[in-house]
Structures are given as C-alpha cells and as structure tokens.
Chain A
Amino acid sequence: MATETPLEGDVDRRRRRAVVEKLLLRDLALRHRLGILGVGLLGLVPLLAQPRELNQFTSVLYLMMFAISWDVVSGYTGQLSFGHAFFFALGGYGTSVTVNQHLLPLAGDLGLTLGPVGTVLVILGGIVGGTLVAALGGVLIGVPALRLDGPYLSLVTLIAPLLLYQSLIIFSESLPVLAPGGLGGTSGLLNAPPSFVGIGELNTAVTVDQQWVGAVARYYISFLALLIVLAVTYGVTRSAAGSVFTAIREDEDAVRSVGMNPAKFKIFAFVLSAAIGGFAAAVWMHAGPNAAPNTENLFGSGRINLSINVIVVAIIGGMGTIVGSIVGALFFAFADAVVGGLVPNLKPLPTFLLGMLALVFLPRGVVPELTRFGRRLLAWRRGEVDRLLERDRSPSTLKRTAEKYREEIEEIVGGESR
C-alpha cells in the first residue's frame, strides 16, 4: 500500500550486511562498548586471583549461565519458571550418565584405549547428550503447559524438579536402558565423570602437574561456555523473535492479533532455555570446580535453593536483559562471600536480603537502571539539563509480570478485583 516500500530490492543482502556490520562491532552505543569491556575483564580474572579464589569465581560463571537460561524464558516471555534446577539436573546427570554408563563402557567393549583426544571427544559427546536430555525435558514440560494461556507453566515447574528428585531415589540402583548403573539416589553418582583438565587424577583428559594451571584452564573452559551461551542468547533475543518474546510478556493477544502464534514462540524460548541450562550444567560436570553429579550441587541445598537463586540473580541484574544475569551473579556472589564470611551460619539470609533490597530500590534491576542513568547523563552533557531529573513512571518489567500473574491467577480462582 505504501508508495515508498523499503522491502523492495535485495532485502536479504542488506540484512546480511547489517548483521556483518553488527558483528564487526562498528558504531557501538556506549553501553555496548562497556559491556564488551566488562566481558573482556571477566576474561582477565585469572591474572588477579589465587587458585582457590579462582575456583570460587569459576562457579560464579556457572551461576551466570544458569541465570541467563532462566532469563531467556522468564525474563523475556514472562512465563515464570520456579524450578529451573530441573534442567540443570537433567544436564548434569545427563552428561555423567552418558559418559560413565554409556560411552566409556562402550569404548571398553570395543577395546579402545582413550588418549587425551579420545577422552575429550567422549566428554563432548556427554555434553551434547546432557544438553539434549535437558531440551527434551523442556519439550515434555513446555509443550503441554505453554499451549495454555496463563500461569500453568509456573505450576508445573514447581513440581517437576521434585518429581525428578524422587526419580533419582527410585532409580538409584538402576534405570533400565537409560542408566544401567543407576542414578545414585540423594548422595549422587559416586564416580564423577572425567574432567577436561586435572592434576594426576585417574580420569582426566589432560593431566597437568600444578594446581593453578588446572584452575586457570578450567576457568577458561567455563568462560568459553559462557561466551557460547551469551552468543546464542544474544542472537535470539536481539532478533525480531526477541521482540516477539517481550511482546508475549506484555500481551499475548496483541501478538496473536498481528498474525503470530504465541505458543510457538513460548515453547521455543522454553526449550532453548532448558537446553542452555542443561548445557551449562553439563560443562560444569567436566570443567567446573567441585564438579560432582549430586543433588546438593544441581538442585541446591533443600532441593529448591538453586532454582530460587537464579531467579534472584536475574532479577537483581535486570529481567529480560541477558547481561543483567552476569552483573546479578557478581553481586550475588559478592554478597554471599562477604556476609557469609562474616556470619557463616546465616547462609541463605544475605542473598535473600540482597534480593529484597533490589526489589525495593532497584525494581528494574541494576543493568536497566544504570543504562537509564547513563542515558540521562549523556542527555545532560548535550545540554538537556532537565532530563537529568526526569522520572520514568512506567512500571518495571518485574512489576508488570507480577501484576499479570496476579490477574491470571485471580481469573482461575475467581477473584473479585477484575
């Protein structure tokens, strides 16, 4: 209908060129340059830290990935998942079982002696397996729950990790075909899967003779996994599909009314999120510090702590931003270390306190608040003095999501305030 149609000509070529321009990092906004600087600094952490500190910091990288995986589905589409540990457990157990109970026995049966390269290949196979198992779990939960409008996903995700936890106990001795060696019950699998790098342990792909070399190597493998997760989630959420995700968070009917199927996008976001969580947990089992496939690690203490922690991390950093999870995890780990060091017996309290403070003072999260502050500062430098004091009255993502939930639940139970 328009006389001027920007869709004429070789649109595909222009789009590809635009993507290349973006990848070459030209014309970056200040916040993007700061973001890249920040990720670069994360890569330099091993230069500063002692091996023991470095190990602690490596686990923060996994917390970042876990929080990102929650953010992709809950922060973007507003479908709150309360049990993301379900996917971490599927990924972690998935790779351990794949490697220890399938691939290594298979290599033994074939009479292969695995060198470093062979072991790395087996580990990679396990990571792929763990990721697929988690993605499959995402399909099994997501397809039925997300075809409905409303908070049904949340209800299912509350229960799914507990069911999985019980299954670990029920099938502790043996799970036919899938896990002939069993799932180990509450104490976890006794034989940890082989790690990429270690000192003198039996099953490592590469053996090094000094503690710190191993720590640094494990840090960079974990860092590489974080970069992969970042690249995938950035690619998806910054494409047109990302704007559909956030539109679903705002109003599913609006998405439907312009000819898109919200269920398809929700399921995709959920399965992607599941795969990312599974992938991160799977890498952790082979490269992380304290890598053991047990319930304490993969569900958190008390079966739900890790699921709650990732939510707190993503909200502190800023829901629906991806980078927020990275910043949030840093804050979270810092608070955990400082307060936990001062008063060790109050362990979960400082983190929940931090979460409450964030909700009250920074409901949008650290990253969006900083972005807005930076924008106003730039405007002020350009001479638009009054913009420095301007207040944005639009409600935060968190508040809008929570409100939508309240409405949907009231709709189900027949509340009166609608």
Chain B
Amino acid sequence: MSADAAGTEPDGRSYGPDDGILVAEDLRKEFGGLTAVDDLSFAVKEQEILGFIGPNGAGKSTTFNCVTGTYPPTDGTVYFKGDDVTGIPAHDMVKEGMSRTFQEFAPLEDRAVVKNVELALAPDELFTLSGMGGETEQLAREICRRVGLGGVMDQTPAELPHAGMLKLELARAIATQPDVMLVDEPFAGLSADEVQELTEVMESLRRHGMTLIVVDHNMRGLLNLIDRAFVIQFGSKIAEGTPEEIKNDPEVQEAYLGGEEI
C-alpha cells in the first residue's frame, strides 16, 4: 500500500465505509469541556502497516479507545470491514476481528506465559470442550514460538524481561486471530536487536494477511516497518504520508519543536 492510497491531503475529506478495512469518520470524544479527539477521520487499508503518531497527550490512546470500544465516542462513526461498529463493547470488537495490545500490560500472574496465550484462544462460551484435546495448548505454544517466546513460555510472566512482556502482549493479541491489530508502543524501551526481531514478526503477520496499526509518540524504530504515517496533535490530523514526507513536514516539526524528536 502506498502513501496516496487514502487521500494524502491533510485537509478534511470525508470517508465512507468502503474506504478501507477500518474507517473512522469525524470521530469526536469530549471529556467534560475537554475535546480529546476533534472530528478525526482516517482510513486504514487492508494489509497495510500504518504508523499512528503524535506527541504525548495528542489523543492517540483516546482515539483508539473509541475505535476499539473501550468507551463510546461522543460523535462520529467507526466502520470496520464495511459495517458500522460505533460504540460496540470492547469484547465484541475483538470477536469482530480487531484486537489490540496495551502499553500498561497486565498479564495474568497466576499462570505460565503459554497459559496466558491459551486464554485468548478460549471461546466466549460457558459450556465448551475447547482445550480438552490439547490442541489449543499446541496452538498457543506455536504462537509463543513465532513471537520469540519459545524458550520462556513455561515461566510465569513475572520472570519475563521487558521485551518478553511486549512479546507476550503481542502473542495474546495474535491469539484472538484478528484481521486488524492495534499495537500500542511496541518498541518502548527495547534495544535495536529486539526492535528488529519484533519488526520481523509484524512483517510476517502482514504477509499472512493482517493489517497493523502501530501507535507511537515518535517514529524512531518505525521507519523500516510502516508504509504510511498519520500524525495527530490536539486530537486533529496534522500530516499524513510516507515516513520521509512526514519527517520533512513543517507542521510536524513545529509540533515536535522543543519537545521530542519525531
């Protein structure tokens, strides 16, 4: 997918349900008098890796909390696979095929890493034989190996290093078998080698048909991964384009002036 796929003009163009696998149209979220997301519109194409970037407090998390159903938006519409999914509960959104990782990960401390992943494979049913034949455990082990947790999957999450926790979050999201996966700050606090390892995992997911949205406050580490970046500030879009275009965009540089490096 290239930069001009979904409209490169930073000015407001309207989006319809068929503009991509995930489309937000005039999304708005107010908390009391504070507008966290200000009529934001964007579209994510199938099998693309989109970087969703903005300085701290720009409204990235709020946007995706609205999109994934953590709380309903004040106004606007979210289309997923062409259907209106605005305001449906988070767990139903996962069933629709959209999963996410969390920055403040909270793995289940009472069970091994592989069991954490296995939970994501359990069906949302009260009476089930799922797991009886051991096949969900096999699948959970396979997912652990894919994300690089092969050697530590029988340990408890408390024993994992920071990178291991990020991988576990990724594995849990993968195990829900999503079509679109939202990855929140996957590279925070990782070494260059670990960034490379996770980049490869995400690229292989994309090759297998997954669409990824990577949320981060800067583009460090994302340059080799994303096809397109979408930059927001104060809840509105300020730029959209290839990573190179974004780096040279005057408005983006303004937004990051005196703060962090884009």
Residues on A close to B: CB < 8 A? 1-2, 4-7, 11-12, 14-19, 22, 239-241, 243-244, 246-247, 249-251, 253-262, 264-265, 268, 394, 397, 400
Asked if B122 CB lies within 8 Å of chain A CBs, one says: yes
Residue of A nearest to B156 (CB): A394
B139 CB within 8 Å of chain A: yes
CB atoms of A243 and B106 under 8 A apart: no
A4 contact set on B, CB distance < 8 A: 138, 142
Show 19 residue pairs from A and B whose CB-CB distance is below 8 angstroms, ordered by the A residue.
A1-B177, A1-B210, A2-B146, A6-B135, A16-B129, A22-B132, A239-B127, A243-B118, A255-B91, A255-B119, A256-B90, A258-B99, A258-B172, A259-B91, A268-B126, A394-B109, A394-B158, A400-B109, A400-B110
The DSSP consensus for interface residues of chain A is helix
Q: What's the Cα separation between A2 and B121 when bound, in Å? A: 14
A19 to B127 CA separation, bound complex (whole angstroms): 13
Q: Is B176 an interface residue (CB 8 A)?
A: yes
- Known A19-B132, A259-B95; 11 more pairs at CB < 8 Å: A1-B205, A6-B136, A6-B138, A7-B136, A239-B129, A241-B122, A241-B128, A243-B115, A243-B131, A256-B91, A394-B110
| Chain A residues whose C-beta falls within 8 Å of the C-beta of B11 in the assembled complex | none
Decide yes or no: A261 and B108 within 8 Å by CB, A18-B132, A240-B130 being known contacts.
no
Report chain A residues within 8 Å CB of B45. Answer: none
- Complex Cα distance A338/B156, Å? 42
Q: Which residue of A lies closest to B122 (CB)?
A: A240
B255 at the interface (CB under 8 A from A): no
Q: Does B107 have its Cβ within 8 Å of any Cβ on chain A?
A: yes
Q: Which A residues touch B102, using CB under 8 A?
A: 253, 257
Among A2, A5, A19, A249, the most chain B Cβ lie within 10 Å of the Cβ of A2
CA distance A241 to B129 in the complex (A): 9
Whether the Cβ atoms of A251 and B108 lie closer than 8 Å is yes
A240 partner residues in chain B, CB cutoff 8 A: 122-123, 128, 130-131, 136
Q: Nearest 3 CB-CB pairs, A to B?
A: A259-B94, A258-B120, A6-B135
Type the 1/0 row for B81-122, where 1 means its CB is closer than 8 Å to any CB of A.
Answer: 000000001111011000110100011111100010011101
* Chain B 136-177 per-residue mask, 1 if CB under 8 angstroms from chain A, else 0: 101100110010000000001010000000000000111111
- Closest A residue to B90 by CB, please name it: A256
Q: Could you say which residues of chain A place their CB within 8 Å of the CB of B126?
A: 241, 264-265, 268
Chain B hits for A22, CB < 8 A: 132
Q: Is B134 located at the chain interface by the 8 A CB criterion?
A: yes
User: In the complex, which residue of chain B has the Cβ closest to the Cβ of A9?
Assistant: B135
Known: A6-B138, A264-B124. A257 touches B108 (CB 8 A): no
**Minimum CB–CB distance for B131 against chain A, Å:** 5
* A259-B124 CB under 8 A given contacts A243-B119, A244-B119: yes
Q: Kindly list chain B residues whose C-beta atoms are within 8 Å of the C-beta of A255.
A: 91, 119
Interface band, chain B: 35 or more
Given A264-B126, A265-B126, A246 contacting B110 (CB threshold 8 A): yes
**Chain A nearest CB, measured from B64 CB (Å):** 12
Residue of A nearest to B96 (CB): A259
Contacts of A261 in B (CB 8 A): 89, 91-92, 124
- Across the interface, do B91 and A260 meet the contact criterion of CB distance under 8 Å? yes
Q: Which residue of B lies closest to A261 (CB)?
A: B91
The reply to whether B133 and A11 contact each other, CB–CB distance below 8 Å, is yes
Specify which chain A residues have a CB less than 8 angstroms from the CB of B156 in the assembled complex: 394
A377 to chain B, nearest CB (A): 20
Residue of A nearest to B98 (CB): A259
Q: Is the beta-carbon distance between A7 and B135 smaller than 8 angstroms?
A: yes
Instruction: For residue B88, give the distance in angstroms from its CB to the closest CB of chain A.
Output: 12
Alpha-carbon distance A15/B131, docked complex (angstroms): 8
Across the interface, which residues of A come within 8 angstroms of B108, CB to CB?
246-247, 250-251, 254
CB neighbours (8 Å) of A11 from chain B are 133, 135
Of the candidates A18, A265, A397, the one having the most CB atoms from chain B within 10 angstroms of its own CB is A18
Counting chain A CB atoms within 10 Å of each CB, the highest count among B130, B134, B208 belongs to: B130
Expressed in whole angstroms, the minimum distance between the Cβ of A229 and any Cβ of chain B is 18
Instruction: Report the nearest B residue to A395, measured CB to CB.
Output: B109
- Tell me the smallest distance from the CB of B177 to a CB of chain A, in Å: 8
CB distance from A247 to the nearest CB of B (A): 5
Q: Contact check: which of A1, A246, A257 meets B99 at CB < 8 Å?
A: A257
B171 shortest CB reach to chain A, Å: 11
Chain A residue numbers with a CB within 8 Å of B120 are 258-259
Quote the shortest CB–CB distance from A285 to chain B (angstroms). 29
With contacts A244-B122, A251-B106 taken as known, whether A239 is within 8 angstroms of B135 at the C-beta atoms is no
Question: Which residues of chain B have C-beta atoms less than 8 A from A254's C-beta?
Answer: 106-108, 119, 172
Known contacts being A254-B106, A257-B99, A397-B110, is A2 close to B139, with CB within 8 Å? Answer: yes
B119 engages A259 (CB within 8 Å): no
The CA of A119 and the CA of B92, in the complex, are separated in Å by 49
B1 CB to nearest A CB, Å? 19
Complex interface: chain A residues within 8 A of B133 (CB): 11, 14-15, 17-18
State in angstroms the CA–CA spacing of A14 and B134 once bound together: 9
Cα distance A394–B157 in the bound complex, in angstroms: 11
Once A250-B109, A259-B124, A394-B158 are accepted as A-B contacts, the answer to whether A2 and B142 lie under 8 Å apart by CB is yes
